[in-house]
Amino acid sequence: MTTYEQRQREIIRRIAIKAQKQPLLGSGLWFHHDIRDNFYYAAYLFAASVDPDLSVPFDKELTLASSSQMLLKVLKLQDRDPDSPTYGHWPLGLGPVPKEAKPNTLPVELMGSLMVYFYRDHQEHMSQPLQAAFENAFEHMYKSRFYAKEIREFNHHEAKYTAAKLIFGQMFRDYELVEDGHRSLVRTLRHIRENGMREYGALPWFWHWVQAFTAAWELVEDVDINRDLSDMLDYLWHERSLYYLRGAWAGPHARSLPHDAPKDGNVLFDYVQFGDFPLPDEMPRTEFAGFLYYEAPEDVSRNALDRSIPLEAARYAVLGGGAAGEESRRIHKYVYITEDYAAGGAWERVREYDNEQHRWDVTLPIGRGQSINQLYFFHPGEGYAELDPRHESDIGEVLFRKNVVIALYPLPEGEESRIVGVLPKGEWIREPNALFGFVDRVYLAVRLLRPCQVEELADRDAAESRGGPNGVVVEAIGRADAERLCIGSLQEFAAVMREREPEFAADATRAFYRSLAADEELELSRGTDGGYQASVNGEAVSFARYEV
């Protein structure tokens, strides 16, 4: 058995045990918040129950029956009325009475293709009623033509539609649909190669791309299409490797759910592919990581796993322009990755879906127990809530230079103006305008324009700085680099960094800092035209160097 198969079986076992212990609701389902979780948990429990070599602490015969019943309950909630506008769809949220829940377009997008994949590999263990229920559901999905969408946005929805065209076209021998799916695939791959992914580092959307196209790659038998699917998956895993650090997703996020920031939690596909971090207890996005697998190219895996030589990864993505008259713009992504930490983010502020852009952070590998693994600050914006450090405002300018992040927040004067931040648990020295820390193998220096208050929480330190215009300078240094600078303790690090105080303009329109690790002069300032300019050693930082 290969190592990736061992990791998948570990996931199957862990989720199956959770599913077996999950109490049933009055409806007979496990969850009402999202129908897909019922399908995913039931699929894992079913798979564990029919695997003779998988050791589990429950009666497999009983759980095979219960998981089969759960799958039947999910399948029966499909809208089977051909005259319905939601024909072929399932509800998403099930409410108090699942039978009365309104169908939603989302579940079938991803769950439909995964159902086909699951059925292919497990149908021999299914009862006749369950087999018939799956086949009936497939026919309704195919006839509904939910996938018959024009490619315009090059987003995760259309990626899943493309995969569904290929999968259902082959299943029902609709070769015109297969050809349509192939054209969509080739067009999508060409677009993202030329323009980057508009959902830059989006979680969980990125994994929806991976799941949909991996399922198609597994199921489609046409050699030419399969080769193009391999090219797509190679591209996706290369993109993932650029921001990978032992399970963490460094750099910018187009979308961050609560389990993505300030702690990377959507890690199961990374665990199966790379396996260089412990499988966490909490698994918020189970989906199909325990079943689907596409081996990343050797150079991609090597680059992701070997961070002994620091790497600067710089890309851009074209956003917008998908609809007629919609203006397109570029967002530049940057991350500097070492074996112990990463730093970077998005140069430009973009208002994404639900205002969830995660602009910048210093990222540590996962596997830190309960502690978060990200350090960042921001000005709260629309959707922000206490104890949920996401949803920032449009106010903020940044400069990224290897291990240093400079951020300016030209806020109005007043006690109500504030920035908030999060710090991973570790050893910290707190001063009014500075925080010096040693976390795992990394020294961290955080300097602010205004005083900062810190509250210790169970999994993080929560920071807040009030009073008006503000700025933050963060420098991270690995222990090995610190030792080369004759720094052997947090106290020595703090003493050295106190000699390198950043210079802030009182209105937060300028910050100047001489970095310790590279001994470079970094400046971020507002020009006469109102725009912000970044410079390194007096030379302007041009976005052109990031258009690679």
Cα–Cα distance, 256 to 260 (Å, whole number):
5
Cα–Cα distance, 344 to 403 (Å, whole number):
8
- If DSSP codes are grouped into helix, strand and coil, which group holds residue 192? helix
Tokens of 75: 């399948």
CB burial of 407-432 (b: ≥16 within 10 Å; e: otherwise) equals bbbbbeeeeebbbbbbbbbbebeeee
Other Cβ atoms less than 10 A from the Cβ of 279: the count is 16
- If DSSP codes are grouped into helix, strand and coil, which group holds residue 340? coil
Q: Going residue by residue through the chain (548 aa), what tens digit of pLDDT does each one get?
A: 679 999 999 999 999 999 999 999 999 999 999 999 999 999 999 999 999 999 999 999 999 999 999 999 999 999 999 999 999 999 999 999 999 999 999 999 999 999 999 999 999 999 999 999 999 999 999 999 999 999 999 999 999 999 999 999 999 999 999 999 999 999 999 999 999 998 988 889 999 999 999 999 999 999 999 999 999 999 999 999 999 999 999 998 888 899 999 999 999 999 999 999 999 999 999 999 999 999 999 999 999 999 999 999 988 898 876 555 567 888 999 999 999 999 999 999 988 888 999 999 999 999 888 899 999 999 999 999 988 999 999 999 999 999 999 999 999 999 899 999 999 999 999 999 999 999 999 999 999 999 999 999 999 999 999 999 999 999 999 999 999 999 999 999 999 999 999 999 999 999 999 999 999 999 999 998 889 999 999 999 876 555 54
Cα–Cα distance, 436 to 454 (Å, whole number):
13
Do 443 and 437 touch, CB atoms closer than 8 A?
yes
**Of the candidates 390, 127, 431, which has an alpha carbon nearest to the alpha carbon of residue 262?**
390
Tokens of 474: 């963060």
Residues paired with residue 533 on neighbouring β-strands, in sequence order: 525
| pLDDT number for residue 240 | 96
DSSP string, 405-416: EEEEE-PPSEEE
Do 190 and 162 touch, CB atoms closer than 8 A?
no
Other Cβ atoms less than 10 A from the Cβ of 322: the count is 16
**Of the candidates 84, 215, 220, which has an alpha carbon nearest to the alpha carbon of residue 146?**
84
How far from the centroid of its chain's Cα atoms is residue 361's Cα? 14
Rounded to the nearest 5 percent, the helix, strand and coil shares of the chain are: 35, 25, 40
Q: Beta 510-514 vs 503-504: how paired, if at all?
A: antiparallel
Q: Which residue ranges make up each domain of the chain? A: 1-146, 148-312, 368-546
CB burial of 215-233 (b: ≥16 within 10 Å; e: otherwise) equals bbbbbbebeebbebbeebb
Which pTM was predicted? Answer: 0.96
Q: Is residue 80 exposed (0-12), middle (13-18) or buried (19+ Cβ within 10 Å)? A: middle
Cα–Cα distance, 398 to 534 (Å, whole number):
8
| pLDDT number for residue 548 | 42
Cα–Cα distance, 382 to 394 (Å, whole number):
9
Task: Mention every residue, 6+ apart, whose C-beta is less than 8 A from residue 5.
Answer: none
- If DSSP codes are grouped into helix, strand and coil, which group holds residue 92? coil
**Of the candidates 362, 378, 137, 102, which has an alpha carbon nearest to the alpha carbon of residue 250?**
362
- Give the Å distances, CA to CA, from 504 to 170, 345, 380, 444: 62, 21, 21, 19
Tokens of 157: 């929805």
Asked if the bond preceding 262 is cis, omega within 30° of 0, the reply is: yes
Q: How many residues does the chain have?
A: 548
CB burial of 42-76 (b: ≥16 within 10 Å; e: otherwise) equals bbbbbbbbebeeeebebebeebbebbbebbbbbbe
Cα–Cα distance, 184 to 201 (Å, whole number):
22
Cα–Cα distance, 181 to 179 (Å, whole number):
5
Other Cβ atoms less than 10 A from the Cβ of 260: the count is 23
| pLDDT number for residue 322 | 59
Cα–Cα distance, 455 to 464 (Å, whole number):
9
- If DSSP codes are grouped into helix, strand and coil, which group holds residue 263? coil
Cα–Cα distance, 539 to 337 (Å, whole number):
23
| pLDDT number for residue 547 | 52
Residues paired with residue 406 on neighbouring β-strands, in sequence order: 399, 473
Which residue shows structure tokens 């006749």? 128
Task: Mention every residue, 6+ apart, whose C-beta is less than 8 A from residue 539.
Answer: none
- Phi/psi of residue 210, nearest 5 degrees: -60, -45
